[in-house]
Amino acid sequence: MHTILSRAFFARWFLFAACCIGGFAARAADPVSPLATMIETEAAATVKAFNAADATALGGMFLEKGELVDEQGNVFTGRPEITALFQRFFGRFPQSKLEMAVTSVRPIGDAIAVEEGERRITAGTDGESAQVRYIAVRSRQGDRWPIASYREFTAEPLPTAGDMLRPLAWLVGDWVDEGPSGRTAISFRWSDDGNFLLGDYLITADGVESKSTQRIGWDAASGTYRSWTFDSDGGFTVGAWMALEDGWEVVSDATFPDGTTGSATMKIMPQDDDRFVVRSSGRIVDGNTEPDFELTITRRQPAQGATR
């Protein structure tokens, strides 16, 4: 198939990123569901580890690249950093005790669960305690549900859609992939209201250009991230994201200008602050299977003398 189709598929199905932490309470939203049973097991382990001041066990509750964001907005990324955070805390408050109450648990497909609730920590012997609300995202890994992302909030106000998108803020800026088959230029920015990420794509192959625009937002009803992509030829795509151990999986459905439809699964794997890999598989167009492809996207440095 024409080279530009592969690159167009990349634009249509590009979507991105995220993390958090959390614990589960002893009670779950649906006590008879298999998900509730798994959550109760994780919850019991979390509370037990915390009340035993076991920082290593708590760090092990997270994905390797999981993220914890406290109520002040401080971000702690990866098991080592999160484990060290708990070690410092227990060094200051060795007798702290944890209580958690889950107010809702929502499955997203078979591999993601979004949990909302409250947690109370009582530190020391004087009985002083602190309570916050939290949202946790767990990713199924075999029989385990480790934490991909956990964020705490003070009692008021409720987090905005923009707050929920902060794990994707690193996307803002200019990116490019250049190779023998063509060029893909990407630019992301925040919307004026701060509640969406807006992307522009320019794909060039064999002298032919195609453009796409994308809007990424938080779907509060389902507790997940979604993207809507619109192509200059009249086509459009809707996508949903799922967290993985090494990045993100994006499952998307496209409608082309002639009425044909397509679907694809895209895996997005960050390599460092200035580079990520996009690997597309399972691409179907009008019932026909298309070849897989892989792109390495790098951050485009501003021109000399320009300000980013």
pLDDT value of residue 126: 61
pLDDT of residue 14: 44
What pLDDT was estimated at residue 166?
Answer: 83
Average pLDDT over residues 56-82: 92
Q: Is the pLDDT of residue 197 over 90?
A: yes
- Tens of pLDDT, residue by residue over 90-147, are 988 888 888 887 777 888 888 888 888 888 888 765 667 778 888 989 998 888 889 9
Which domains are assigned to the chain?
34-159 (3.10.450.50), 166-299 (2.40.128.20)
Average pLDDT estimate for 272-282: 89
Using pLDDT thresholds of 50, 70 and 90, give the confidence band for residue 270. Answer: confident
Position 2 pLDDT exceeds 70: no
As a whole number, the mean pLDDT across the chain is: 81
> In this predicted structure, what is the pLDDT of residue 25?
32
Residue 303 has pLDDT above 90, yes or no: no
Please, are residues 295 and 184 in contact by the beta-carbon 8 Å criterion? yes
The mean per-residue pLDDT over the stretch 38-53 comes to: 85
Over residues 2-11, mean pLDDT: 43
Place of tokens 């097991």: 41
Q: Per mean pLDDT, which of 26-35, 55-64, 101-110 is the most reliable?
A: 55-64
